[in-house]
Amino acid sequence: MTVVPVTRRARLKAIGWAFLYLITGFGLMIGMTWLGLSLVGGASSAGSLVLQTVAGLLGFGLATWLIGIRALGLTLQDLRWRPIPGAARGFGVGNLLGAGAAGATIGLSLMVGGASFLSDQGNLGGYASRVGLTLLLLIPAALLEELAFRGVAQVVLARAIGRLGAILLLSLGFAAAHLSNPNISPLGFANIALAGVLLGLVFYAPGGIWTAWGVHLGWNSALAALDAPVSGLPFQIPLIDYLPGGPAWLTGAEFGPEGGMLATLTLAGASVVAFRWSRRESP
Tens digit of pLDDT per residue, the chain (283 long)? 444 567 888 889 999 999 999 999 999 999 999 998 888 776 677 778 889 999 999 999 999 999 999 999 999 999 998 767 778 899 999 999 999 999 999 999 999 999 999 988 889 999 999 999 999 999 999 999 999 999 999 999 999 999 999 999 999 999 999 999 999 999 999 999 999 999 999 999 989 999 999 999 999 999 999 999 999 999 889 999 999 998 999 999 999 999 999 999 999 999 999 999 887 664 4
User: Does residue 156 lie within any of the structural domains?
Assistant: yes
Residues 218, 96 contacting (CB under 8 angstroms) = yes
Residues 134, 237 contacting (CB under 8 angstroms) = yes
User: Does residue 2 lie within any of the structural domains?
Assistant: no
pLDDT digits (tens, 9 = 90+) for 50-108: 899 999 999 999 999 999 999 999 999 999 987 677 788 999 999 999 999 999 999 99
**Count of domains in the chain?**
1
User: Does residue 27 lie within any of the structural domains?
Assistant: no
How crowded is residue 91: how many other Cβ atoms within 10 Å of its Cβ? 20
Q: Find the domain containing 161 and state its range.
A: 78-278
Classify burial at 255, counting beta carbons within 10 Å of its beta carbon; exposed 0-12, middle 13-18, buried 19 or more. Answer: buried
User: Does residue 257 lie within any of the structural domains?
Assistant: yes
How crowded is residue 181: how many other Cβ atoms within 10 Å of its Cβ? 18
User: Does residue 116 lie within any of the structural domains?
Assistant: yes
User: Does residue 132 lie within any of the structural domains?
Assistant: yes
Q: Which residues pair with 116 in a beta bridge?
A: 243
Q: Residue 80: name the closest of 153, 5, 135 by CA.
A: 153
User: Does residue 24 lie within any of the structural domains?
Assistant: no
User: Does residue 232 lie within any of the structural domains?
Assistant: yes
- Would you say the pTM of this structure is higher than 0.85? yes
Sequence-distant contacts of 123-132: CB under 8 A, at least 24 apart: 123/238, 123/239, 124/239, 126/238, 126/239, 127/237, 127/238, 127/239, 127/240, 130/235, 130/236, 130/237, 130/238, 131/224, 131/225, 131/237
pLDDT digits (tens, 9 = 90+) for 70-86: 999 999 999 998 767 77
